[in-house]
Amino acid sequence: MSAPISALRQFFYRPWMLATLAALASAAVLLAASIAIALQQMKDSEMAQMNAQGERFLERLEQVFGQLREGVDELQAQPVRGCSPAMVSVLQQVGLGSRFIYEAAYVDANVACSNRGGARAFVPTRAPDIQGPTYSYWLNTTTEPNENLAALMLARGNFLVSTSRGHLTDVVDLPPGGSLLVVLDNGTRAIPVLGPPQAWPPTNGWPPPSQKSLIELQDRLVYRMPTRSPDYQLALIAPRASLPLRMNGMLWLLFPGSLLAACCIGWLVLQLIQQRRSMSSELQNALRRGELQVLYQPIFELDSRRCVGAEALVRWRRPDGSLTSPDLFIPLAENTGQIRQITDFVLQRVLEQLGQLLRSHRNLYISVNLAACDVMVPRIGSVAARLLALHRVAPSQIAFEVTERGLIDVVVARDNLQALRAVGHQVLIDDFGTGYCSLAYLQTLPVDCLKIDKAFIDALGHDAASSGVAPHIIRMAHDLHLRVIAEGIESEEQAVLLNSEGVNYGQGWLFAHPLNARQFAELVTRGRQPRRARINDEP
């Protein structure tokens, strides 16, 4: 690693630095999430406000139109026609009888009269905005800001009734600069009913293809509100930020809450790093004080039930007698790089403890687990060569197990594994099936044997989806002329089934637990199993 990179690594790999970075990163994420939630809530509240206004207006519109219809129906039903004083009195009666009718008028080709001005009546100058079979509707008959001028008008026969702008505005509290429009003719035309006139359509390509009711434009918000009538829709257009936006009280808590959570995360990271640091320094002491031990789990030929070798498994026995599982400290050692020391220690211990046994049983082998970093450099080959020469043991008696996860850089791994095989070591793929090794991938790797993971052996004979994995791996291995070892065999049925599927070798509690060196040597030389072999046996 180049000097600047390693300096950078050292700078960042400080507990306080990592904890601060974790706190800052989580604060950024949490604050961003809080802001996103806050904005969404504001948008929701904006929409709710617009919705409420639209609904109030719609309700009022229904009420107003209802009364206008009743009034014009009443006029149409009575017999008086023309502009006589009797008509003016009829018009005045209808006007007085209804809260929303501001003006009631009679108009024919010759005369016009109204309840308000006798012979003067307000007559629309344009065609109706909505033409129904019985009634004609005008939605905004004046643009003057006169509260008394007609805002809605309805006609039947010769009669016209209208309501004033004031009757509508008293229920709708439009935002400043906002307008309420009635949209007609499939969105092509809009008539402003309240508020200043607005350009229509509000954007190019109106109506937008999405069904969203709130459309955000650069400077305006357009809220479309469907009505019960297919003929018209309501649209509320308001300049952006004209609505009073209020943040939900809970949201204010999100910000300090996020900062607090970020501090907690930073603190947890700090604790975790310090714990890991202390565990890694404990492991260092353990290596120095000889607290690590190696056990051997025998591997059997399934046909003859003869022991052909063993897998070396490391154990950490603390001074208080408790055992720490390799599943806990091996991943940590892989991260800190201490795994190299452990691998060397296991190799050395294997040869020290079993050198003689291996020399007298030339077909016996011990397999040693390698971590990813052991596979990435050629170092382990030279360590093994030195120890094998010292103990006069053949390289073929030491096998190396690598997991699929350990093959991070396949090209580099392939060269190193090939070098190990070239001097006579066997190479095994451990936990096969749990990683992403495919058949094509496997073909390119220099390996002798596959170890099928215990999970697939457990599934054998069950209906589980994975029960077919082991037979598939076995067929695949045979096609590639690879040997197969089944791991974690716990029952006779599994052993028989695997043997019938063509698996030659197996290890598991059915045959033996991991044994200490003495027990393993006894098993090999006398073919005798210890009475009660447990994983935590004393060496």
Residues at the site binding ligand C2E, with contacts judged by CB under 6 A = 297, 312-314, 325-327, 330, 339, 342, 346, 369, 371, 430-431, 454, 487-490, 507-509, 514, 535
Residue 266 binding result from Ca ion, ligand C2E, none, given CB thresholds of 5 to 8 Å by partner type: none
**Burial annotation 365-378 (CB, 10 A radius, 16+ → b, else e):** bbbbbbbbbbbbee
E runs forming strands in 125-228: 130-131, 136-138, 150-156, 159-164, 179-184, 189-194, 214-216, 220-226
Cα separation, 272 vs 379, in Å, equals 31
Taking the least distance from each CB to Ca ion, the nearer of 314 and 523 is 314
Long-range pairs for 405-410: beta carbons < 8 A, 24 or more residues apart: 405/372, 405/431, 405/435, 406/370, 406/371, 406/372, 406/374, 406/375, 407/372, 407/375, 407/437, 407/445, 408/372, 408/376, 409/376, 410/441, 410/444, 410/445
Q: Which residues contact 484 (CB under 8 A, 6 or more apart)?
A: 449, 450, 451, 452, 473, 474, 477, 478, 502, 503, 504, 505
Tokens 């308001």 found at: 238
Q: Which two tokens stand for residue 327?
A: 């599943």
> Pick from 232, 174, 231: which is nearest to 49 by CA?
174
Taking the least distance from each CB to ligand C2E, the nearer of 46 and 487 is 487
Taking the least distance from each CB to ligand C2E, the nearer of 115 and 369 is 369
Residue 395 binding result from Ca ion, ligand C2E, none, given CB thresholds of 5 to 8 Å by partner type: none
Taking the least distance from each CB to Ca ion, the nearer of 46 and 458 is 458
Q: In this chain, which of 401, 416, 512, 516 binds Ca ion, going by CB under 5 A?
A: 401
Taking the least distance from each CB to ligand C2E, the nearer of 130 and 383 is 383
Taking the least distance from each CB to Ca ion, the nearer of 234 and 370 is 370
Helical packing angle, 326-336 and 339-360, nearest 10°: 120
CB of 380 to Ca ion, least distance (A): 15
Q: In this chain, which of 430, 484, 486, 508 binds Ca ion, going by CB under 5 A?
A: 430
* By the rule CB under 5 A, 416 interacts with Ca ion: no
Note whether 193 and 130 are within 8 A (CB). Answer: no
Q: Hey, how many other C-beta atoms are within 10 angstroms of the C-beta on 198?
A: 18
Taking the least distance from each CB to Ca ion, the nearer of 179 and 369 is 369
Residue 346 binding result from ligand C2E, Ca ion, none, given CB thresholds of 5 to 8 Å by partner type: ligand C2E
Residue 150 binding result from Ca ion, ligand C2E, none, given CB thresholds of 5 to 8 Å by partner type: none
Residue 327 binding result from Ca ion, ligand C2E, none, given CB thresholds of 5 to 8 Å by partner type: ligand C2E
Q: Which of residues 310-369 bind Ca ion (CB under 5 A)?
A: 369
CB of 435 to ligand C2E, least distance (A): 12
CB of 15 to Ca ion, least distance (A): 33
* By the rule CB under 5 A, 431 interacts with Ca ion: yes
Q: Which two tokens stand for residue 292?
A: 């690590």
Q: Near Ca ion by CB under 5 A, which window of 75-83, 211-219, 486-494, 512-520?
A: 486-494
Number of residues counted as binding Ca ion (CB under 5 A): 5
Taking the least distance from each CB to ligand C2E, the nearer of 189 and 454 is 454
Q: Which residues contact 247 (CB under 8 A, 6 or more apart)?
A: 38, 41, 42
Phi, psi dihedral angles at 459 (to 5 degrees)? -75, -15
Cα separation, 268 vs 264, in Å, equals 6
CB of 509 to ligand C2E, least distance (A): 4
Tokens 């390509």 found at: 205
CB of 308 to ligand C2E, least distance (A): 16
CB of 451 to Ca ion, least distance (A): 5
Residue 94 binding result from Ca ion, ligand C2E, none, given CB thresholds of 5 to 8 Å by partner type: none
Residue 488 binding result from ligand C2E, Ca ion, none, given CB thresholds of 5 to 8 Å by partner type: ligand C2E
Q: Which two tokens stand for residue 137?
A: 């509707």
Residue 297 binding result from Ca ion, ligand C2E, none, given CB thresholds of 5 to 8 Å by partner type: ligand C2E
Taking the least distance from each CB to ligand C2E, the nearer of 490 and 522 is 490
Taking the least distance from each CB to Ca ion, the nearer of 137 and 400 is 400
* By the rule CB under 5 A, 46 interacts with Ca ion: no
Per residue, the 3-state secondary structure of 57-115, as one string, reads: HHHHHHHHHHHHHHHHHHHHHCCCCCCCHHHHHHHHHHHHHCCCCCEEEEECCCCEEEC
E runs forming strands in 259-355: 292-301, 306-317, 323-324
CB of 23 to ligand C2E, least distance (A): 33
Taking the least distance from each CB to ligand C2E, the nearer of 129 and 431 is 431
Residue 129 binding result from ligand C2E, Ca ion, none, given CB thresholds of 5 to 8 Å by partner type: none
How far separated are the first and last CA of the chain, in Å rounded? 40
Residues that bind Ca ion (CB under 5 A): 369, 401, 430-431, 487
